[in-house]
Amino acid sequence: MAETLAPGAVIGIIGGGQLGRMTALAAAPLGFRCHIYTPEENSPAAQVAERTTVAPYDDETALAEFAASVDVITYEFENIPVDTVQRLSKLAPVRPRPSVLAVSQHRVAEKDFARDSGAGTAPYRHVTTLDQLRDAVAEIGRPSVLKTCRFGYDGKGQVKITDRTELEEAWNSLDTDDAVLEGFVSFEMEISVIVARGLDGTSRAFPVAENHHVDHILSTSTVPAAIPAETEAAARTVAEALAERLDLVGLLAVEMFVTPDGKVLVNEVAPRPHNSGHWSQDGCATSQFEQFVRAVTGLPLGPVDVLFPTVMHNLIGDEVEQWEEIVAEPDAKLHLYGKAEARPGRKMGHVNMMKRA
């Protein structure tokens, strides 16, 4: 088994967004330093890290220097070239492995993986041409959703297929030859489970979060979720099984649908901290970010007991202007991301509302 990193070690984080920022903040109390690698100037993560390299993801010299300066490498979002991560993995330990990243980057690979692991999914078909789209719609039906296989998030890169949709127009609007058609699922709610898995193979799943989206962007996550105990257990079992099959070291977030009969269907996976896990910063014995640091450095995983029932609310765009009211609320914990400009649809921060006894 790989050696546990001692305090003073340096964690290299690829990506400079808010997830990297909160990971660096969680690493510091454990004695770890963080080095951020990002193409972005003045990124949220760079504001709190010991060191930052600003360079393109294909800069071989910068990547080599970055790898030489750290003890372990991880990533805070999945839209990073797999080639970059594979190159780094030859120079330093990378956790999770590049193969995990590859699965999460492609929607068909992701769904194939979930299905092959025994998990349920919505019906889907890989679509690479307009004719294939027509065949897939004839098979799966309408309504359905056509999505790009890569780089879509928060509702981007997708179009709903209804009885009125002209398929040629829908196909051309995505400007891709790599898409997936997903059938609509009748569901009671959307949930997610974040599971951590350490170097020794130990895994620990956080309690299920109940998620509510507005305009395809996560608005709130509530823990505990309003689901039966057997549904909670099934969701956590699915997440742990996927992490085990991936041989994951790090975090895996699994978004799921709960059907009216209580079954859980996998929607998406992400091998990193996740927006729906932000509640854990104030409502859980161990935050998802501390758990992430523990996993990739080889430390024992922390407990995941709920300390307070918590509702996490994303601050999107101008909602961040409510910060003064939020900090005056005794049961609210404000987390801002250090972004200079509030734009529509942009995540500027979040607030955890705790229900104290």
Binding residues for ATP: 107, 147, 152-158, 182-185, 190, 213, 267-268
Distance separating alpha carbons of residues 31 and 6, to the nearest angstrom: 8
Distance separating alpha carbons of residues 259 and 185, to the nearest angstrom: 8
Ramachandran bin of 320, using left for φ above 0, alpha for ψ from -120 to 50, beta for the remaining angles = alpha
C-alpha distances (whole Å) from 272 to each of 62, 82, 88, 97 are 23, 15, 17, 12
Query: Residues at the annotated binding site?
Result: 107, 147, 152-158, 182-185, 190, 213, 267-268
Torsions phi, psi for 235 (to 5 deg):
-65, -45
Give the residue carrying structure tokens 């928060």. Answer: 154
C-alpha distances (whole Å) from 340 to each of 41, 43, 72, 139 are 12, 10, 30, 47
Residue 257 in contact with residue 194, Cβ under 8 Å? no
C-alpha distances (whole Å) from 258 to each of 14, 96, 248, 352 are 33, 28, 25, 24
C-alpha distances (whole Å) from 186 to each of 217, 220, 268 are 19, 20, 17
Which DSSP symbol is given to 209?
E
The alpha helices in the chain, defined as continuous H runs, are: 18-27, 60-68, 82-89, 98-105, 107-116, 130-140, 167-174, 229-246, 280-283, 288-297, 323-327
Distance separating alpha carbons of residues 53 and 147, to the nearest angstrom: 33
C-alpha distances (whole Å) from 36 to each of 30, 62, 298 are 18, 12, 20
Torsions phi, psi for 6 (to 5 deg):
-95, 160
C-alpha distances (whole Å) from 115 to each of 110, 242, 243, 342 are 9, 10, 14, 39
Element (H, E) at 251: strand 250-258
